[in-house]
Chain A
């Protein structure tokens, strides 16, 4: 148990550190930008020289100043000598010295409006357009390159090309190359166009598809060998992009299916134990999910109150709430078993009815305590966000749920197969009378098993609080699906439940893009009913020797 928890923690640490390892470029000192701007405005040094210096910066302050200059909010105050002139920015609260960004204490009456020449304005506006190409934020730089490339304007093509050799970061460099290639589709020579098509095809850039298609249109009637060659190359590039897109879609579906299946698995696993092993139809299973989710909510509020929402302590509230969600749900499960379920072991249909009453009670109790509206549970930083794996967007919470499901399966397996209490549980579930005859404390085992199944539901709720709404009736949405998972998997077979939840998750996700969410879901349900025609006992039926089963 300790080993498992360590494993989970290690994984989480890796996740957290991974999410924070964004490459941060070193920031260029802003003071320099400001002095260059001041030089430009006050005419200190040549205009050409100052512009060249300025283009090295990607600072957003340039944009603000240029805009202010255009609308006549830039002033100059004469100094004692020409090179001590001060460039000023007029704001609502008075003047700000552009050179240092501080309020200017001089005499306002001596300051006069400064206007840039027509030629300079033109150059400045171009400079602003390509400003982000020099941005210290590399992802912003790459985005800007793609944007300028997509504009396919010859002016920016030259700009991109001159800046390309300066790009040292691999990703940014690739973005520049791709931007240039897209721009060259419209502006390049035949040779350049062909090279661009080859590059885009090789990089299977989905964003370039429309540009290639548009370009191809222009050559459909071109009978020259060059034109024909370009057509061939364009088709090849398009084919390469299309096949890549399919691959991305496939892996995307696989990933989403796997994560949806994992959610189902966690939700259904507790049910597979209480229903599959114990034969108790727990309609309140969904409410144990809600109990788990509300536990997370309470823990979150506690952390927010004691550590503040910005603290790192708050960030770890979710880790603390996981075991608590399990324990709280398990506790309520134990109470339910002792007060109601134990009277109904021989009457499965009636356990269904009684637990339905329980479910009404728990739902209403939650409503009275926490209100009928959904409560908001914030995801910790390390669970939000995503990264791009070769075109497939992997969100951290989806990855987390997959690993989490694995841990749940592994843990349950270890508990049932490798511990003494697990052996007792299996024995009791097979034959209550026989087990208690052999000296196994059947009552205690029943409580334990039911509490364990309920605890798993609580864990599922804790996880669902991160990806869906937390409300009093949140569990209702999962109850039908969970029962389906258990029935399809073969009642009493935990491995079957795992396989069937992943299978249902995958099928659901692959049907959704074709049929839409509702029809997809209906198709899955009908599919399940038809599947049972073929295999009434589920995937892994357990055969019993009794005739009137």
Chain B
């Protein structure tokens, strides 16, 4: 059994590598009048989906494999986005209206110089480090508080939502030095490359693909070790793990922190492709969106969250175009259906269908027998 599973996985991995790192960027390189040309816009949209997929994977690592449902995964995503956004804001350069190198909203609020915590973000490496340690640190601190006092199950979910809510309130404030309502936008360059240049966008798309594949490899490796087994054992019976001599708190803390870091990285790559980051990324609804992707794709599976993130977002963009008014009805209805009738998501569908078929067959056998 296991070897076949591994084979399927390797093939899927190879296909994903080929598509995301080679085929799609190559199609983008074709001349615009070619039938196979993939526009930079479409590539950008798919780049965002790849970031969403990584975000979904980070949640799945936490929820699907450890049983900790975080409703604030979008917070870590947004924090990563903000961290890189700070760098991008500083790269905009002097502004024609205010004649200052400060971000516009600071000029507007009457700042004369950059606040101290902004200064290091002139450095790209610092910003990239912050993309990881800011969400990681927040997850770590919150994790200590939550896991130490044995908060789990729905309580953990509710508290992560409260944390996200508190953070969004903070980021909506103008005087929090992160642009308030409007957040960051109008980015111009990254590492000296023009963000409107297709080549730059292609580079960021490839980076998103690489992040997705690396995340996949990392999670696969972790799951294959004893660590991964302990992690899943915690999901099924945490007390038993603790009474087998493991400090479940440290394991959960590690998983939570790592998933925060991964979400932060996804957010960082999302921001230059979306061209904007603002506190609306932190609202509770976005956190639940991520949960939806994972649940629809199939939680506790490696490929499920990727499929879920891409399928739901494709569906959303199609439905918003076709049924501008009623797409939340469709999405909500679909979600209820998946939760109630497809607990294993899309990935679990074949097995579920097989089950139903066997059941029907046995029932048929049972009904024909007495006759």
Contacts and interface: CB of A to CB of B under 8 A. Distances in A.
Does chain A touch chain B in the assembled complex, meaning CB atoms less than 8 Å apart? Answer: yes
Interface of A: 281, 283, 340, 343-344, 347-350, 352-354, 356-361, 363-365, 368, 476, 479-480, 483-484, 487, 518, 521-522, 525-526, 528-530, 532-534, 536, 547-548
Nearest to A343: B340
Contacts of A518: 169-170, 172-173
Interface residues on B, range: 35 or more
A478 B143 CA distance: 25
Contacts of A528: 162
Contacts of B339: 344, 350, 353-354, 357
Interface of B: 69, 142, 145-146, 148-151, 153-155, 157-159, 161-163, 165-166, 169-170, 172-173, 237-240, 284-285, 288, 291-292, 295, 325-326, 328-329, 331-336, 339-340, 343
B150 A480 contact: no
Given A356-B291, A356-B335, A365-B329, 5 more contacts: A368-B325, A487-B155, A525-B162, A528-B162, A530-B145
A231 B328 CA distance: 70
Contact of A360 (B159, B163, B291, B328): B328
B61 to A, nearest CB: 16
Contacts of B334: 357
A522 B155 CA distance: 18
B24 to A, nearest CB: 31
5 closest A-B pairs by CB = A360-B332, A357-B335, A364-B328, A361-B332, A357-B336
Contacts of A476: 284-285
B200 to A, nearest CB: 36
A480 B157 contact: no
Contacts of B154: 281, 348-349, 352
B252 to A, nearest CB: 15
Which label, helix, strand, loop or mixed, suits the secondary structure of the A interface?
A: helix
Contact of B158 (A340, A344, A483, A521): A483
Contacts of A352: 69, 154, 157
Contact of A344 (B151, B173, B340): B340
Contact of B145 (A360, A368, A479, A529): A529
B162 A529 contact: yes
B336 A532 contact: no
B261 to A, nearest CB: 21
Nearest to A344: B340
Contacts of A479: 284
B335 A364 contact: no
Contacts of A534: 149
A522 B328 CA distance: 30
A306 B150 CA distance: 58
Counting chain B CB atoms within 10 Å of each CB, the highest count among A283, A354, A365 belongs to A354
B335 A354 contact: yes
B336 A340 contact: yes
B326 A368 contact: yes
Contact of A526 (B149, B150, B166): B166
B161 A483 contact: yes
A350 B145 CA distance: 25
A525 B332 contact: no
Given A533-B149, A536-B150, A364 B161 contact: no
